[in-house]
Structure 1
Amino acid sequence: MNKPLKIILSFVFTILFLLSLFWILNNLAVKVEVEERENFSYTECRDKYEKTIDDILNYGLDDILELDKVYKLSDSDIISPLPNPDYYFELPASESGVIINEKAKKILNGQKLFFNTEIRTFANQPVKFYLDKTIFAVTWKQYINGCIYTLSEIKIADASQLRRYLAGGEYGSPYQYVTSDMAKAANAVVATSGDFYSFRNVGLSVYMNRLMRVAGEYVDTCFIDENGDMSFIKRGEVLSFEEAEQHPLVKAARFSLCFGPVLVENYENVAPSNYVLGEVKERYARSALVQMDDLHYMIVVSSGEEYDLNVPTIREFANAIHSMGAKHAYALDGGQTAVLVMNNQVINRVVYNAQRKISDIVYFATALPSGG
């Protein structure tokens, strides 16, 4: 109990009680006999009101003080808080029910996961988890339609935890690094390769709420807004800087991604048969950012394994993601760039066993202060 607060409230209640008593005696002309007043005990009254104060503190203020603090990150902070290493752990999929149904229940807030205890992981590998008050991440591998997929499902408490990190720390930097190095530098819980924005002059590029580039002829652009929601402007829809500046999706965007194509939009599979990037008709290592629900996402990568190199076409990739119940899905840079990192470890097999140096990543961060 907060002792100074108790003393203050005690004093206030005592004064109010005495003022009330004085008002009754003077305004209602209540006659109090001497012998009755002799029975009056100030100590009893004080104890009575102390109990009232205790009840207020125990059942009122304590509840208020125990409400979850809202943690929010600033986009201007290039580096996110350091995840607590003790909050990473591994379990067999069949034994993870207690995590889903109890430990992560609060942050899931009634939402259903695609991941479940019945999933047969690739080579019976354990499932990787991270869980704190602000983020839940579960990462695993499984066969889907004959291809090995590496998946990470993430639920965050605040939209600011879905973030973008640029090599060199600023837009337009000439530096390039591999995904795992940038994930470590940014303190990512989970990360994937971005759109390699500095290599291709395409799309409607937004960074830190500022429109940086308009080249919308050839690619779909994915926007992430202040609520953490994904939305899209399709190729050819917005072509001028002036038009882009006035577009509501651009104005609402925290940042954008310029690769594509859009795979799923409003639960509908919209993968195209032709697209300028990503070798859409070929079997190719692929990566996508997926929104399942409010503040609920997946990173999906299919890049094969050493003795099973089968990878999907863009249509097959979109079909697999659509079957997961995706609300929105957007393809990111694939090939050697298709990388999924958790706890500073590359989880998927990377093409040619060598990450490509790129200019940016998309990642999810804890919002707790470092080490929290």
Structure 2
Amino acid sequence: MDRRRHPLRTTLIAAGLTVVLAAGGGAVWAADRFLIPHVEIADVSTYEAENTTTTVEEDSTVGTVDGTTYSDGETTVTVTEVVTGSGDDTVTAYVADVVLGDATALRSAFANDQFGENIIDLTSSIAADNDAVFAINGDYYGFRDDGIVIRNGVVYRDDGAREGLVFYTDGSVAVYDETSTTADELLAEGAWNTVSFGPAIVEDGQVVDGIEDVEVDTNFGNHSIQGEQPRTIVGVTSENHLVFVVVDGRDEGYSRGMTLTEAADMLIGLGATTAYNLDGGGSSTMYFDGEVVNQPSNGGERGTSDILYIAW
């Protein structure tokens, strides 16, 4: 497996900053904000061990790819390629149907086992470092300095800014308004993991109105999430039953990507009553059983700050 760093997003932002540097102004601020790693916690594994109040149930995993099953425990992961349309209208997606033996089997990990801004690594590398059998890219928390970040039952950031998704230890999952609560309140209610990106595209089994007009961020370097794009989406069908979808895109004849409404319709078709959009575009990556199963739109993986995963 290629374990080299591939910080393409940083490279692209750096190219954009060249013009700013030439003009002076906020160049130093921009480089500090979007390029230079800022490590707030250097050893996340130790930090979580010292701060968690949640008992993690021992669990093992069953893996299935396109109908072939191999088993060694309670949690099941079934990954299927789904191709629709033809010609330039072709859409290629990868669907992971996940039944958790215990809600804490779904975990999060940060690039380089560090928490902070602009710290990135490949989804596959973060997954391998954490013995993951299955992983997707997360919300790219490190590209912003706000949002509520609770991972593996530990609070990392408490600065509500947008619509978030919370996974609870009882197996339930909910869309919530970050600005109307706090990380400590969520933790007291049993929060296990939160993600902060969005928007929610399915609620109560229905497509959410207005999703084609939502902007997640307005900060420098952020691009619109609208239009036909590569996508990473998490859907909820019932307690401890999740579907993760990665849609490839920007490749005519292989996969054009999906609009948010198309993605919502797909998730409803998969049985999801709730679905939430995660970081997409070149970040959209699904890893299973030691390899990346989709084709990221950059021609290879793009570095990200975090993953959601299931370990053996």
Same-fold call, TM cutoff 0.5: yes
Write 1 or 2 for the structure with the bigger share of strand: 2
Shift in Å, 1:255 = 1.9
1:287 aligns with 2:232: yes
1:133 aligned onto 2:78: no
Q: Which amino acid aligns with 1:354?
A: G
> In the aligned structure 2, how far is the partner of 1:295 from the partner of 1:202?
28
In structure 1, what is the equivalent of residue 204 of structure 2? 266
- Which string of whole-angstrom CA distances, capped at 9 and with x for unpartnered residues, describes residues 134-171 of structure 1? 22111111124652211111112111111101112243
Could you list the per-position Cα deviations for residues 194-233 of structure 1 after superposition, in whole angstroms to 9, with x for gaps in the alignment?
011111123222234344333333x311111112321121
CA distance in 2, matches of 1:232, 1:89: 29
Structure with bigger gyration radius: 1
- Displacement of 1:262 in angstroms is 0.8
For the residues of structure 1 that align with 2:128 and 2:247, how far apart are their CA atoms? 22
| 1:300 lines up with 2:245 in the alignment | yes
Aligned residue among 186, 192, 205 for 1:254? 192
User: Residues 36-60 of structure 1: CA distance to partner in whole angstroms, max 9, x if unpaired?
Assistant: xxxxxxxxxxxxxxxxxxxxxxxxx
Alpha-carbon distance in structure 2 between the residues aligned to 1:130 and 1:138: 10
- Measure the CA separation in 1 of the matches of 2:108 and 2:302: 18
For residue 311 of structure 2, what is the aligned residue in structure 1? 365
Shift of 1:127: 4.2
Contact 2:147 2:160 (C-alpha < 8 Å) held by counterparts:
yes
The one-letter code matched in structure 1 to 2:229 is Y
1:310 is aligned to: 256
The structure whose residues are more often helix, as a share, is 1
Question: Aligned ranges for residues 81-100 of structure 1 at < 5 Å?
Answer: none
The equivalences for 1:45-56 within 5 A come to none
Give the alignment of 1:180-219 within 5 angstroms. 180-217=124-161, 219=162
Shift of 1:185: 1.3
Provide the residue aligned with 2:174 in structure 1: 231
Give the structure 1 partner of residue 38 of structure 2.
none
C-alpha distance after superposition, 1:330-363 (max 9, x if no partner) = 1111011100010111111110212111111001
What SS class does the counterpart of residue 142 from structure 2 fall into?
coil
Q: Which has the higher contact order (CA 8 A, sep 6+)?
A: 2
For residues 238 and 302 of structure 2, what CA distance do their matches in structure 1 show? 31
* Counterpart in the other structure of 2:34: none
SS state at 1:228 partner = coil
Contact 1:209/1:253, CA 8 A, preserved across alignment: yes
TM-score (norm 1): 0.60
Report if the CA contact (8 A) 2:148-2:183 is conserved: no
AA partner of residue 352 (structure 1)? N
TM-score by length of 2: 0.70
SS of the aligned residue for 2:132 comes to: coil
Kindly provide the amino acid, as one letter, of the partner of residue 149 in structure 2. Answer: S
Question: RMSD of aligned C-alpha atoms?
Answer: 3.0
Whole-angstrom distance in 2 between the partners of 1:198 and 1:355: 17
1:20 alignment counterpart: none
Among all aligned residue pairs of Structure 1 and Structure 2, give the percentage whose two residues are the same amino acid.
23
Deviations 1:83-134 (A, max 9, x none): 78xx7565xxxxxxxxxxxxxxxxxxxxxxxxxxxxxxxxxxx545443222
Q: d(CA) in 2 for partners of 1:200 and 1:189?
A: 28
CA distance in structure 2 between the partners assigned to 1:134 and 1:76 by the alignment: 24
Q: 1:171 to 1:148 in 2, by over 3 A?
A: same
CA distance in 2, matches of 1:261, 1:134: 31
Structure 1: segments with no counterpart, 5+ residues? 1-74, 91-125, 367-372
**Which sections of structure 2, spanning at least 5 residues, go unmatched?**
1-47, 217-222
Structure 2 residue aligned with 1:163: 107
The 3-state SS of whatever aligns with 1:307 is coil
Task: Give the match's secondary structure for 2:141.
Answer: coil
Q: 248-257 or 258-267, which moves further after superposition?
A: 248-257
